[in-house]
Chains A and B, each alone.
Chain A
Amino acid sequence: MTHPLEPRLAAYVAERMPDARDVRVEALSRISGGASRETYRFRLLWTDAEGAPRERKLILRRDPPASLIDTERRIEFEAYRAFHGSAVPVPEMLWLEEASDALDHPFFIAEEIAGYQAGPGLLWAEPYVGTLAALGQRKWTILGQIAKADPEALGLTQVMEPVALDASWARELDYWEGVLNDDEAAPLPIIRAAIRWLRAHPPKPAQKLSVVHGDYRTGNFLFDDKGGVHGVLDWEMAHLGDPLEDLGWSFNPVWSFGRGVPGGLLPREEAIAIWEASSGLKADPADLHWWELFNCVKGQAIWVSSARAWIDGGNREPIMVYPSWALQNAQDRATLQVMGRL
């Protein structure tokens, strides 16, 4: 059965591959999961200038009518492009379309890194469960490389809003508190108490300006059955800021999958040591604690805004209900845990 987007997608790509003939799109299918962009895989087939048949597996990421989070797709696209070919494995970006004419919503097309898994539920059984230590080593080594990278050398200061080293905490907290103020459907006493604490105890200025992935966690990278990581995904919340922000997010208890260790992979102190060795930076305990608690606020804001998108009718997919129903209370408990009150 031909997906209705296939001929439109083929026409779009054909315009951008002037040397190609007989451009076709086949096997377009949506990849389940994800509440911020619609993700599809497809096969692109064409005849090249020498008359040889060519084929490539690609990914289409398209904005939905209303998203879990509001982000600039150009920022996401440029973040992937910046890190391609570096120590941070990411898929190759091909085309970014910011207009809605071609496929009804903005989108980008990237290579598919095929043959690997992303779903964290697979990790706790064979053949993956024996590789968790190795996977954790890679996870936090790669995060250290993201933290270490020079955003100016990567060209990302051209597309991402800069921030002073002593102001990144306030900018992020203001933003996510604003999301809560706009979107909450019911009062949240635990998160409001966390916000009061965060404002009363700000962290020290960031030790460097880093690219912050914004959602670096188990579930957002492709892994194999030997502990290898082959692609870091979901850069839609990428921005410039304090590198401890990403480290703190990776320690959000909500992403422990009930296994009691960060990401379900490694003890906290081991993960910190790996990150420090890879990044060349230090994770000051008090500052890291601040960013861990901040990330509880951010997480809660994301679950709240997911519910708001569903309530207001912008996106009635069941995936928009799941974070609020399944994670909002868990995030409250995580907040209490980080504050030493659980």
Chain B
Amino acid sequence: MTPKIPDVLADLAGLVIRNASPDVDPADRGSALGLSAMLLGIAAQEWDRAAARLVGENRAIRELLSEAPDALGEGALADRLRGLSTGQDEDLRISALEAANATLRAALIDFHAAVEAAEGEPARRIEAAIWAELRASTERRLIAGAPV
């Protein structure tokens, strides 16, 4: 999630302290603390699942990228994507998993665009698999009470 959860939590801690002051306008305090509560609730939903979500998603994207030569044939892009597909998540800190996820999702954008333009049954099959993964990625990120 961006902004990053630790950064937001640190800021919210400061905001709570500031709003403890009796000098703060009650309406401003109510608004600030109400929003803070909503954000804390979202952070709470993300806390337990974040690592599993990122590890699972990174694995799913690497599996897709491993099919780049099948879909695109040999070439510089396929080579780059295949290279990314062999990685593993050794560092399980959220920051490290998010950095790997960003690299993989950027590669997925390039792969998706190339597959759209490619011909042949492998390209169509992989295009469908990419859409399935994109749909799954939104299910992993669902927040309670979201409008969609």
Given A29-B27, A189-B112, A326-B143, verify A342-B135 contact (CB < 8 Å).
Answer: yes
A247 close to chain B: CB less than 8 A: no
Interface readout for A169-180 with B: 1 if CB under 8 Å, 0 if not?
000000000000
Q: Is the CB of B3 within 8 A of A311?
A: yes
Contact with A along B90-133 (1 / 0, CB 8 A): 00000000100110011011001100100000000000000100
A58 to B76, CA, bound (A): 63
Interface contact A318-B105, CB-CB below 8 Å: no
> Residue A151 at the B interface, CB < 8 A?
no
Q: Which of A32, A196, A326, A332 contacts B30 (CB 8 A)?
A: A32
Shortest C-beta distance, A322 to chain B (Å), equals 6
A333 cross-chain contacts in B, Cβ below 8 A = 138, 146, 148
Interface of A is mostly: helix
Residues of B within 8 A of A327 (CB): 146-147
Beta-carbon contacts under 8 Å, A305-337 to B:
307, 310-311, 316-319, 321-322, 324-327, 329-334, 336-337
Categorize the interface residue count of chain A. 35 or more
Judge whether A18 is part of the interface by a CB distance below 8 angstroms.
Answer: no
Task: Choose from A188, A253, A321 the contact partner of B8 (Cβ within 8 Å).
Answer: A321
The answer, among B32, B113, B146, for a CB contact under 8 Å with A326, is B146
Q: Which residues on B sit within 8 Å (CB–CB) of A223?
A: none
Determine the distance from Cα of A307 to Cα of B2 in the docked complex, in whole angstroms. 7
Q: How many residues on the B side are at the interface (Cβ–Cβ under 8 A)? A: 42
User: Is the Cβ of B116 less than 8 Å from the Cβ of A196?
Assistant: yes
Q: Do residues B147 and A324 form an inter-chain contact, with CB atoms below 8 A?
A: no
Q: Is A134 an interface residue (CB 8 A)?
A: no
Asked whether A193 lies within 8 Å of B134 as measured between CB atoms, the reply is yes
Least CB distance from B13 to A in Å reads: 12
A341 within 8 A of B: yes
Known contacts A32-B31, A253-B148, A316 near B25 by CB under 8 Å:
no
Cβ-based interface call for B50 (8 A): no
Q: Are B138 and A189 in contact (CB under 8 A)?
A: no
Asked whether B28 is an interface residue with its Cβ less than 8 Å from the other chain, the reply is: yes
Interface: B52 (CB within 8 A) = no
User: Are the CB atoms of B35 and A324 closer together than 8 Å?
Assistant: no
CB distance from A339 to the nearest CB of B (A): 9
Which residues of chain A from 197 to 250 have a CB within 8 Å of any chain B CB?
none
A11 close to B (CB within 8 Å):
no
Shortest C-beta distance, B58 to chain A (Å), equals 13
Contact B148 A190 (CB under 8 A): no
- 1/0 per residue, CB under 8 A from B, across A16-39: the answer is 000000000000011011000000
Chain A to chain B contacts (Cβ below 8 Å), 16 pairs? A1-B25, A32-B28, A186-B98, A187-B108, A189-B105, A193-B109, A253-B148, A257-B147, A317-B32, A318-B11, A318-B32, A322-B38, A329-B138, A329-B143, A334-B148, A342-B138
- Contacts beyond the supplied A329-B142, A330-B143: 12 A-B pairs with Cβ under 8 Å: A3-B25, A29-B25, A29-B27, A33-B31, A189-B108, A254-B147, A258-B148, A310-B3, A319-B35, A321-B3, A322-B39, A325-B42
B residues lining the A interface (CB < 8 Å): 1-3, 7-8, 11-12, 15, 25, 27-28, 30-32, 34-36, 38-39, 42, 98, 101-102, 105-106, 108-109, 112-113, 116, 131, 134-135, 137-138, 141-143, 145-148
